[in-house]
Amino acid sequence: VSGNVIDWQKWQIRVGFNYREGLVLHQIKYQDGGELRPIIHRASIAEMCVPYAADKEPFNHKCVFDIGDLGLGVCANPLELGCDCLGHIKYFDGTINSPQGDGVVLPNVICVHEEDHGILWKHTEMRTGHAESRRSRRLVISFFTTVANYEYGIYWNFYQDGSVQSEIKLTGQVSTNYALPGEDEPDLGTTMLPDVIATHHQHIFAARLDMAVDDPNGGRDLRISEVDVRALPAGPRNPYGLAFRPVETVLATEHEAMRDCNASVSRSWKISNPSKKHPYTGKPVAYKLLPNQSQTLLALPGSSMGIKAGFAAHNLWVTPHVDGERWPGGDYPVQNLYNNGLTHWVRKNRPLAGKDPVIWHCFGATHIARPEDWPVMPVEVAGFWLKPVGFFKSNPAIDLPATKNPASKLHCCDSAANGHANGQANRHSTTNGQNGHANVHSATNGHANGHAAVNGGAPNGIGHSAAAQAASDARFCI
């Protein structure tokens, strides 16, 4: 770590923070051979809305824009070692302004750690029985924020194969109200306790992705396209009825780029650089935005929330880069009677070619509360992936060295009772594991969650000592 720049495995990432978005990532690059190739110029969660399924006053006014109204950075939690992140930790402070304009430092609000993530790749040669297997490690950059009753964990995960994952972990307390007369069986909410109702609602996030994809100038000439996988019609090209292929459609204007998820055709969106070609396929190098299937805004278009939160009506928007166009819900959504953000900008239907396109991906969760969500709801996860498509010549993680974790132990079936829950190490061979918390005598979680050593962008490789792997600080958080 040098200042706010992180080098890990082949990745380089610049970390930023502001009062509104909280964690912001800049100048994300990947070391490919002797070249540090840009992938993302800037990435953040730029807005979110939480509309409620209300049919009565005053609940029809409930639709918080947690980023535009309050600010995720302002509400960020100071993180505690051994509780919010496990393993070897690097914290970053955040800096914001007070209402008086003075600088305020928020300590330990961004956590950086490394963790095991299962198998990255594996193959057994069937003729000889020889097996090769490599564990996956990922770098996690995250922060947690408390917005009144809800907590949101914003996570950016970086993988050794060049993939990037955005995860938002929703937890906290559902918003409730007292049941009105006749609401014994509410159809717009769930009874959590006698006479206590949690109204149905949505959490819809808008990620702002200013991609670079091998363009040192920040992605000016990138091309955005939609890729559907479709069966070929019966005929000479499909005589047996088995053929299918990806169908790519370039999104040339803002209106063409107003798109939604479609699992039936395995829909994704590709960001390609026509000036750089893959050496074997001859196609432009690219990354794809791989969405998790996510419902769009359910408020009707003419409703107050349908107007103010109009950005949530589609899963994808693309606009030309304009410095002042940063907030999809508008600059001051709490004061707006209409949306002067994303839905206002795209009315011009501007062309996208050569305009440094910015991607706005809207995703989230529709929350029909369960009794099990009370009194504090278990984490629910929303997010998306960015994956290379012909960006690398081949698997960029094929050079990982073979390793064995010396901390792994074989325990006899009759030596302990329920002691090493969820793969965590147990203390000698007793105790019941406390729901998977590490008890640590010698190891934790396979590769010991996160010894976040930084190797300055050198080729992939673990290179950590057994002592470092076993050094994860195990604590109970009450």
Annotate the chain with three-state secondary structure. CECCEEEECCEEEEEEEECCCEEEEEEEEEEECCEEEEEEEEEEEEEEEEEECCCCCCHHHCEECHHHHHCCCCCECCCCECCCECCECEEEEEEEECCCCCEEEEEEEEEEEEEEEEEEEEEECCCCCCEEEEEEEEEEEEEEEEECCEEEEEEEEEECCCCEEEEEEEEECCCEEECCCCCCCCCCEEEEECCEEEECEEEEEEEEEEECCCCCCCCCCCEEEEEEEEECCCECCECCCCCEEEEEEECCECCCCCECCCHHHCCEEEEEEEEEECCCCCCEEEEEEEECCCCCCCCCCCCHHHHHCHHHHCCEEEEECCCCCCCCCCCCHHHCCCCCCHHHHHHHCCECCCCCEEEEEEEEEEECCCHHHCCCEEEEEEEEEEEEECCCCCCCCCCCCCCCCCCCCCCCCCCCCCCCHHHCCCCCCCCCHHHHCCCCCCCCCCCCCCECCCCCCCCCCCCCCHHHHCCCCCCCCC
* Residue 272 CB-half CA count within 13 A: 23
Catalytic residue flag (residue 91) = no
The residue annotated as part of the active site, out of 52, 150, 152, 287, is 150
Q: Are 56 and 322 in contact (CB under 8 A)?
A: no
The residue annotated as part of the active site, out of 66, 161, 210, 356, is 66
Q: 339-347 — which CB contacts under 8 Å span 24+ positions?
A: 339/307, 339/308, 339/309, 339/310, 339/311, 341/47, 341/311, 342/206, 342/310, 342/311, 342/317, 343/310, 343/311, 343/313, 345/254, 345/319, 346/254, 346/255, 346/258, 346/317, 346/319
Catalytic residue flag (residue 221) = no
Q: Are 315 and 57 in contact (CB under 8 A)?
A: no
Which positions are annotated as active-site residues?
A: 66, 150
